[in-house]
Amino acid sequence: QTPPNVMEVRNVETFYGPIMALRGVSIDVPQGKIVTILGANGAGKTTLMKTVSGALDPEKGTVTFLGERVEGSEPDQMVRRGLAHVPEGREVFPFLSVEENLKLGAYTRRDREIGDDIEMCYQYFPILKERRAQQAGTLSGGQQQMLAIGRGLMARPKLMLLDEPSLGLSPLLVQEIFGIIRRLNEEQGVTMLLVEQNAQIALNTADYGYVLEIGRIVMANDADKLLASQDIQEFYLGGG
Ligand code: ATP
């Protein structure tokens, strides 16, 4: 039995002025799954993230989140509805401490279990506990990426958008962070939409994948089937 979709995108067209960056994109994100969007530079991955998170309005098509139409919503409304956007480029608050950054991730919540969730973040990212009082701007790139994910978790999101978590990290750190992403999905049930240029690690981590080329979805399949596909091998995994 397939779980219900947390998010459904249908025939979305997004423009920058006269430039059509998404040309009728449709994707499903089922509850409890990791879905990845692959694509080369300029394929439209960031545009798709911005369209589903409210930063860009699509000209056409629909975005449904938790059963409600949300296209055209403001980013802040999307956060309150349960969407956590873990941004590209490690956008943590550099002059705040690690722990203050985590607390800010919970700003939409009214309940009092924030302390428990901070401990949960520290359990997944022990280095953040060691550095809890340190200014976030002084962390390494990998640690800042961990903090960005931890901050997203603090919102207890219904859907977490991960934008290129491998960017600028060493292969070893990439393995470590994706291992934790997988564990957060399996152990905490976090549904994730993952945008990645590193097709190998993304398909090893995700359940399902879409390939975006010049604003269109050109392939969609189970991640293991995409990993085995000749086209993916040739164009995205450097094999063939
Ligand atoms: P990258 O991995 O480099 O971020 P991407 O797959 O995320 O690539 P997008 O950034 O979504 O691709 O860009 C999709 C297309 O839209 C590209 O052709 C890009 O040049 C164009 N584009 C992106 N941002 C703008 C903008 N602000 N104004 C005009 N065109 C843009």
32: region left, alpha or beta (phi > 0 left; psi from -120 to 50 alpha): left
Given a cut of 70, whether residue 199 has pLDDT beyond it is yes
Residue 29 is given by DSSP the state E
220: region left, alpha or beta (phi > 0 left; psi from -120 to 50 alpha): beta
Interface predicted TM-score (ipTM) over 0.85? yes
Mutate to test the pocket of ligand 1, among 14, 37, 47, 161 (most ligand atoms within 8 A of CB): 47
Mutate to test the pocket of ligand 1, among 19, 22, 36, 195 (most ligand atoms within 8 A of CB): 19
Given a cut of 80, whether residue 207 has pLDDT beyond it is yes
Atom of ligand 1 at shortest range from CA of 47:
11
Residue nearest to atom 27 of ligand 1 (CA): 16
One DSSP character per residue, 63-128 reads EEETTEE-TT--HHHHHHHTEEEE-TT----TTSBHHHHHHHTTTT--SS-HHHHHHHHHHH-HHH
Residue 86 Cα, ligand 1 centroid: separation in angstroms? 18
Q: Compute the distance between CA of residue 84 and CA of residue 190 in angstroms, rounded to an integer.
A: 11
pLDDT at 168 (0 to 100): 87
Residue-wise pLDDT tens digits, 62-109: 999 999 999 989 999 999 999 999 976 568 999 999 999 999 988 887
Ligand 1: list residues with CB < 6 Å. Answer: 16, 19, 21, 39, 41-47, 197
Given a cut of 50, whether residue 224 has pLDDT beyond it is yes
Average pLDDT in the chain: 93
Q: Compute the distance between CA of residue 94 and CA of residue 81 in angstroms, rounded to an integer.
A: 26
pLDDT at 88 (0 to 100): 66
Query: How is residue 140 written in tokens?
Result: 């390494």
CB atoms within 10 A of CB 134: 14
Mutate to test the pocket of ligand 1, among 45, 51, 195 (most ligand atoms within 8 A of CB): 45
